[in-house]
Amino acid sequence: MTTQIKGRRFRLKRGTGPTGQDATPATTPEDTAESRTPAEQPPAAREDAPPQHPPREDPAAVAEAAAPADPPQHGADVTGDPQTDAELAAIRAEQLTARQLRMAMRVATRHGIRATSGLDAVRLLRRRGIDPFERSTLLDLVRAETPPQTQQGRNLAVVEDKLPQAKRGPELPQHAADSRMKQLAAERERELGKIKRDITRRRRRRLLQLGARLLLFVSLPTTLLGYYFYVIATPLYATEAEFIIQQADSAMPAAAGGLGGMMGGGLGLGNSQDSITVQSYLQSRGAMRRLDAEEGFRAHFSTEEIDPLRRLAPDASEEAMYRLYQRQVRISFDPTEGIVRLEVSAATPEDSERFASALIAYAEEQVDLMTARMRENQMQDARDSYLEAEERMQEARRRAVELQESFAVLSGEVEVSLLSQQIVTLETELTQNRLSLQELLSNPRPNQARVDQLQRRISNLESQIGALRGSMTQGSDDGGSLARIQSELVMAEADIQTRQMLLSQALQQLESARIEANRQVRYLSLSVTPIAPDEATYPRAFENTALAFLVFSGIYLFLSMTVAILREQVSA
């Protein structure tokens, strides 16, 4: 059976203004029922009703209901000052709610302003430049009315709120409103504290995760590498050497005569191609094999003194040894100065110097072999040409001698000259005899004996002259004609002169080839000789550790940024 609850009616004075903004809303039966104390409720209702919290009412309405009765609004708001009456009329025209007027009264009370009504409180607050309905003003009002509590006090307040309704004494509506405001403030503080603790917990968790990632991906690898460089790594001694490739100066002409032309010019720097060729050879597998065969490169780096990361297994492949060779033998070339720099690292200073000296010797041989074939070919061609010209010259001379011996003529020109002189002499004598004969015949009675003698003499001279002329152009039984002999001798002499000229040219070409070969010779000049160091050069522990730290940090930063960008793209 349910007993009907009777609501308590509060006698509240209502304002008499024309608009009724100050009127308090009527109390509903539910509000009067909730505000009734347990003692006033019927027994059945008290038995059936469970423990309840304070009545959930409008705190402003309860405070307005519990406040002492104000004098009539029209009497309070109507003053003798026309300016004040105008301000109150303007505030009434805003049609403020009762809750807003109550909040204005509370704000005025907080600021120490004595107001006769809610409208008067709004007027006085606005005169001071305070907006009673601003959100910050209301929050300040709530904070001011909520006393600071410790964590223990909050817990106690929560426990007190959880007490049954029946154990509480009668509570005025104003006190209930204050309690409700305190509860709201406490709940807000709890929520804010919970949010702050959650943010702090997330930040702490993120910091811990960041520290763990840095420890795992940066600090731990850097520490391991530092331990290796400082403790495990075998100290290596590096021997350095520098050399340049030189060649004979090309400013001296190839056909220069004298002692300077024979000796060639001075020395000049070789081109960069020669230096690059030497560098490539020293970095090749051929140089490595020769160094291993002659100096024991594999055996040196296979001993137990070498740390496990650098140690070469006795049965390691050639590729593994070549990778080790490239790490231990560093060769660089400076194109601006033409200097080749060599650095050889080994476990002992003596071995390092020995390896460097051997590689320099290999480089010298390679430099000499680069142009040896070309120089040899040039010299061989020039030498063959000279020998051939000399042989043909000798053949031409032998042929000329054979002609002279076969014709019994030393020189065709001399023979022709002698015959010509004889013919001229005979011609002169013939002319004289003919003149003498003409003189005798001109006498009336010439001496016949004298005439016959002159005629016979003239006939003999003509026969002799004809024979001499015939010997110059016609062949005889014991040999050819003098013209043929002269022609063959002239041809032999011309052949000799030609072969002599060719022999001179071949000799000149041979000399030019020799000068060119000397100019193409390459020389390896050491500017820094290999000297064994007295302190270990590698490993550079601090520099390598710092470099490892920077590398791992950069990798981690790159990956972190990549993951963050991908997450942002996915979330977007």
pLDDT tens for residues 533-563? 989 998 899 999 999 999 999 999 999 999 9
Residue 238: the pLDDT is 95
Judged by average pLDDT, the poorest of 53-57, 146-150, 424-428 is: 53-57
Q: Is the pLDDT of residue 175 over 70?
A: no
Residue 103: the pLDDT is 87
Nearest to 510 by CA among 321, 336, 381, 340: 381
Distance CA 449, CA 432 (A): 18
Q: Which two tokens stand for residue 263?
A: 């000796």
Judged by average pLDDT, the poorest of 95-104, 144-153, 236-245 is: 144-153
Alpha-carbon radius of gyration of the chain: 68
User: How many other C-beta atoms can be found within 10 angstroms of the C-beta atom of residue 287?
Assistant: 20
Residue 27: the pLDDT is 40
Q: 346 pairs with which residues across the strands?
A: 237
Task: Give the residue with greater pLDDT, 288 vs 462.
Answer: 288
Give the confidence band of 145 by pLDDT, cuts at 50, 70, 90. Answer: low
Q: Is the pLDDT of residue 382 over 90?
A: no
Task: Give the residue with greater pLDDT, 79 vs 259.
Answer: 79
**Average pLDDT over every residue of 485-501:** 83
Give the confidence band of 520 by pLDDT, cuts at 50, 70, 90. Answer: confident
Residue 268: the pLDDT is 54
Give the confidence band of 572 by pLDDT, cuts at 50, 70, 90. Answer: confident
Give the start-to-end residue ranges of the domains of the chain. 29-196, 231-386+534-571, 387-518
Task: Give the residue with greater pLDDT, 240 vs 408.
Answer: 240
Q: Tell me the average pLDDT of the chain.
A: 76
Residue 143: the pLDDT is 55
Judged by average pLDDT, the poorest of 268-277, 415-424, 447-456, 477-486 is: 477-486
Residue 354: the pLDDT is 94
Q: Is the pLDDT of residue 208 over 90?
A: yes
**Average pLDDT over every residue of 514-521:** 84
**Average pLDDT over every residue of 171-189:** 75
Task: Give the residue with greater pLDDT, 299 vs 56.
Answer: 299
Q: Whole-model pTM? A: 0.50
Q: Is the pLDDT of residue 386 over 60?
A: yes
Residue 232: the pLDDT is 92
Judged by average pLDDT, the poorest of 16-25, 199-208, 274-283, 458-467 is: 16-25
Judged by average pLDDT, the poorest of 131-145, 351-365, 513-527 is: 131-145
**Average pLDDT over every residue of 299-311:** 90
Side chain identity, residue 447: N
Judged by average pLDDT, the poorest of 23-32, 417-426, 537-546 is: 23-32
Judged by average pLDDT, the poorest of 27-31, 350-354, 380-384 is: 27-31
**Average pLDDT over every residue of 329-336:** 92
Question: Does an H or E element contain 243, and which?
Answer: strand 237-248
Residue 241: the pLDDT is 95
Report the share of the chain in percent with pLDDT over 70: 71
* Count of residues making up the chain: 572
242 three-state secondary structure: strand
Distance CA 438, CA 522 (A): 93
Q: Is the pLDDT of residue 160 over 70?
A: no
Nearest to 344 by CA among 173, 533, 133, 545: 533
**Average pLDDT over every residue of 427-444:** 86
* Residues 352/533, Cβ–Cβ less than 8 Å: yes
Give the confidence band of 566 by pLDDT, cuts at 50, 70, 90. Answer: very high
User: How many other C-beta atoms can be found within 10 angstroms of the C-beta atom of residue 44?
Assistant: 11
Q: Is the pLDDT of residue 337 over 90?
A: no
Judged by average pLDDT, the poorest of 242-256, 316-330, 509-523 is: 242-256
Listed as own residue / partner, the contacts of 7-16 with beta carbons closer than 8 Å and 24 or more positions apart are 7/31, 7/32, 7/33, 7/36, 8/32, 8/35, 8/36, 8/40, 10/65, 12/64, 12/65, 12/69, 13/69, 13/70, 13/72, 15/72, 15/73, 15/74, 15/117, 16/72, 16/73, 16/74
C-alpha to C-alpha distances, 438 to 446, 458, 464, nearest whole angstrom = 10, 12, 21
Residue 6: the pLDDT is 56
**Average pLDDT over every residue of 306-317:** 88
Q: Is the pLDDT of residue 17 over 60?
A: no
* Residues 213/311, Cβ–Cβ less than 8 Å: no
Q: 248 pairs with which residues across the strands?
A: 267
Residue 161: the pLDDT is 45
Residue 317: the pLDDT is 92
Q: Is the pLDDT of residue 438 over 80?
A: yes
Q: Is the pLDDT of residue 157 over 70?
A: no
Task: Give the residue with greater pLDDT, 180 vs 356.
Answer: 356
Q: 340 pairs with which residues across the strands?
A: 243, 333
Distance CA 293, CA 280 (A): 19
Task: Give the residue with greater pLDDT, 9 vs 290.
Answer: 290
Residue 485: the pLDDT is 72
Residue 80: the pLDDT is 60
Q: Is the pLDDT of residue 97 over 70?
A: yes
C-alpha to C-alpha distances, 396 to 66, 405, 494, 496, 498, nearest whole angstrom = 156, 14, 9, 5, 9
- Phi first, then psi, for residue 525 (nearest 5°) are -110, 120
